[in-house]
Amino acid sequence: MKTATMPDRLGYYGEFGGKYVPETLMAALDEFESAYKKLRRDREFRAELDDVLRDFVGRPTALTEAKRFAELCGGMRLFLKREDLNHTGAHKINNAIGQSLIARRMGKKRIIAETGAGQHGVATATACSLLGLECVVYMGEVDMARQELNVFRMRLLGAQVVPVASGSRTLKDAINEAIRDWVTNVRTTHYIIGSVLGPHPYPLVVRDFQSVIGREALGQLKKRTGALPDVAIACVGGGSNAIGLFYEMLKHESIRFIGVEAGGRGRNLGEHAARFSGGALGVLHGTRSMVLQDEFGQIAETHSISAGLDYPSIGPEHAYLQQIGRVEYYDCSDDLALEAFHKLSECEGIIPALESSHALGWLLRNGASIGREKIVVVNLSGRGDKDVPQIAALEGK
Ligand SMILES: *Cc1c(COP(=O)(O)O)cnc(C)c1O
């Protein structure tokens, strides 16, 4: 099957994806899917979304040539797609705004979300504040302590942040709790998932809202270089910024795609979030994909220097793209990401998010094999301001 026609009617990308949810949620997923199918072709809805993306989010985002950093990578024409310049500092707002607009059209006045690092929670709280929707964000207690500033931000924006004390008290436990809430309040509530994860139609909806990234980048590159990129690179947590950059480009056979996962601090289970080299087929949070798990199928702990990349599973469309060999996936260690974080800051005047630094780290290590004449685009998924306190503590300054 061509990727352009993915997923199939049941929400599968090959053997990945689907809808693995309790019966009580099937009706809500159907309602969401039919509302979305209608709205994605609705001219008034598209215009409303475009207006908010332009006037509130700040789209289109810039495409910046990074000449000095490119030299450190072996030399190439390197362009950064500047999702860090979006309101709230990352690509997550593209999806949060889109889904909030759908929720309002469905007559749902209450929004729930989960958040790990707090970035998706902040984006959702922001969208709800703009549109006058009630917002409840589930967050693990460990993450709340690690990301105090984002907890405070969400509360300033009028959201209720609910601490989750079960399990490892991190993202996967927050998702479990959000699903529990949704089962109970499904009539009044829409659940906004923050990446290309979860049961169908979420991976499709989130991809569509993020695909604006690649659509803009193709147009901007055409104008600047007269050509298509040779290589497109993005970091992969759940996979939304990567699929956002890649999706509109996949139809061009000449483009090479690289997704970069969190290599963490070692190869053992628990030391990284590299689902392709360390995971196996499994079901987590409503979708079938590659999952980091132990020999009994219990979900493994993960580690990454960047909170946004340490999810134990990956979007089902990425699992498919990997299987058919259309996208290559590699990982980048904590140390290499940190090196790229510093290098980009020092030579381009841009402090990147630690997540995005993984894509840059891969290029720093492997760029020399690409060729000086090649055009490379990297998705700069977010800005690093949020990571500065963590890095200052880590480096003892
Ligand atoms: C959340 C986040 C990511 C990882 O999520 P994806 O769905 O894989 O994009 C990457 N970069 C930034 C800046 C983030 O906030």
pLDDT tens for 26-72 read 999 999 999 999 999 999 999 999 999 999 999 999 999 999 999 99
For residue 12, report the distance from its CA to the centre of ligand 1, in Å.
23
Ligand 1 contacts CB of residue 356 (under 6 A) = yes
Q: Sort residue 356 into left (φ over 0), alpha (ψ -120 to 50) or beta.
A: alpha
For residue 268, report the distance from its CA to the centre of ligand 1, in Å.
23
Please give the average per-residue pLDDT across 203-222, as a whole number: 98
Ligand 1 contacts CB of residue 287 (under 6 A) = no
**For a substitution probing ligand 1, which of 86, 260, 304, 309 has the most ligand atoms within 8 Å of its CB?**
309
For residue 23, report the distance from its CA to the centre of ligand 1, in Å.
30
pLDDT digits (tens, 9 = 90+) for 188-212: 999 999 999 999 999 999 999 999 9
Atom 3, ligand 1: residue with shortest CA distance: 308
For residue 215, report the distance from its CA to the centre of ligand 1, in Å.
18
pLDDT(2) > 70: no
Please give the average per-residue pLDDT across 80-91, as a whole number: 98
245, exposed or middle or buried, with CB in 10 Å at 0-12, 13-18, 19+?
buried
Fold of the domain spanning 20-53+92-206: Rossmann fold (3.40.50)
Ligand 1 contacts CB of residue 314 (under 6 A) = no
What per-residue string of b and e applies to 24-44 under the rule 16 or more CB within 10 Å gives b?
ebeebbeebbebbeebbeeee
Beta strands 110-115; 134-140: pairing state? parallel
Ligand 1 contacts CB of residue 115 (under 6 A) = no
Atom 7, ligand 1: residue with shortest CA distance: 240
pLDDT confidence bin for 168, thresholds 50/70/90: confident
Q: What is the pTM of this model?
A: 0.97
Closest by CA to 301, choosing from 138, 170, 144, 176, is 170
pLDDT digits (tens, 9 = 90+) for 248-306: 999 999 999 999 999 999 999 999 999 999 999 999 999 999 999 999 999 999 999 99
Ligand 1 contacts CB of residue 237 (under 6 A) = yes
Assess contact for 77 and 376: CB atoms under 8 A. yes
pLDDT confidence bin for 179, thresholds 50/70/90: very high
For residue 331, report the distance from its CA to the centre of ligand 1, in Å.
15
Atom from ligand 1 closest to the CA of residue 89: 13
Domains 20-53+92-206 and 59-89+211-394 share a fold: yes
Number of helices followed by number of strands (H, E) in the chain: 16, 14
pLDDT(5) > 90: no
22: preceding bond cis by omega (within 30 degrees): no
Atom 14, ligand 1: residue with shortest CA distance: 308
Please give the average per-residue pLDDT across 176-197, as a whole number: 96
Ligand 1 contacts CB of residue 90 (under 6 A) = yes
Fold of the domain spanning 59-89+211-394: Rossmann fold (3.40.50)
pLDDT confidence bin for 1, thresholds 50/70/90: very low
- CA 302 to chain centroid, in Å, comes to 17
Atom from ligand 1 closest to the CA of residue 195: 7
Give pLDDT, residue 4.
64
Written as six digits, the tokens of 365 are 């290590």
Domain ranges in the chain are 20-53+92-206, 59-89+211-394
Atom from ligand 1 closest to the CA of residue 241: 9
Q: Percent of the chain having pLDDT more than 90?
A: 94
Q: Of 21-30, 114-123, 143-152, which range is least confident?
A: 143-152
Known catalytic residues? Answer: 92, 114, 381
DSSP 189-243: EEEE-SSS-SSTTHHHHHHHHHTHHHHHHHHHHHHHHSS--SEEEEE-SSSHHHH
Closest by CA to 378, choosing from 347, 350, 357, 354, is 357
The CA distance from 23 to 29, in Å, is 10
Atom 5, ligand 1: residue with shortest CA distance: 237
- CA 344 to chain centroid, in Å, comes to 21
pLDDT(372) > 60: yes
For residue 82, report the distance from its CA to the centre of ligand 1, in Å.
13
DSSP 338-362: HHHHHHHHHHHS--B-HHHHHHHHH
For residue 55, report the distance from its CA to the centre of ligand 1, in Å.
23
Give pLDDT, residue 147.
87
Ligand 1 contacts CB of residue 241 (under 6 A) = yes
The CA distance from 182 to 29, in Å, is 11
